[in-house]
Amino acid sequence: MGRGTYSDNRSAGADYSKAEDAARRKHSVQKEEGDFIFLEVSLGDASEFAEDTLEISGHVVDRFKVLRCTSPAVPNAIAAVMLRVRDMTGKVPKVYMRWTEGHPIAYVLKYIFFGEGEEAPVTREILRSAEPDATRRPEVHVA
């Protein structure tokens, strides 16, 4: 399976080509290393936080592969998708994310109360807790 990335830009006219180019530049990923698969997570109803099923749909937009899901907590959804990809393919996937500007404590509080915030470190912590073996743990790259 190709590379993965989180996209918080779910508008109908999202320019995946520009997003891919920017991610390849920021993370030094060469085209020979594989294709990106975009993951778009829409925030869902927080009352469904304890639900244990995440429905994911696959789409092809132009030439880009896009996975879409709805979850009350973005980091949980990203971690769940990465673990499922690993289990289905037998390969450790990588997710490429960007830092959000702002105070980290504020993002932790946003995550606790609203299921949103600084996705990269929270996703990494969820993956670290879910998979103690670092060689099998999906990788989170942040730039």
Q: Report pLDDT digits (tens) over 91-113.
A: 999 998 877 777 767 767 776 77
Give the pLDDT mean for 13-30. 84
- Give every CB contact of residue 42 below 8 A, 6+ residues apart in sequence: 10, 68, 69, 70, 71
Give the pLDDT mean for 11-40. 82
Task: Give pLDDT, residue 59.
Answer: 93
Task: Give pLDDT, residue 5.
Answer: 45
Q: Return the HEC string of 20-38.
A: HHHHHHHHCCCHHHCCEEE
Among residues of the chain, what percentage have pLDDT more than 90? 36
Task: Give pLDDT, residue 127.
Answer: 96
User: Whole-prediction pTM value?
Assistant: 0.76
Beta-bridge partners for 10: none
2 band by pLDDT with thresholds 50, 70 and 90: very low
Whether 115 shows a pLDDT value over 90: the answer reads no
Task: Give pLDDT, residue 74.
Answer: 86
Residue spans per domain, the chain: 3-142
CA distance 71 to 5: 16
Give the pLDDT mean for 58-63. 90
Among residues of the chain, what percentage have pLDDT more than 70? 78
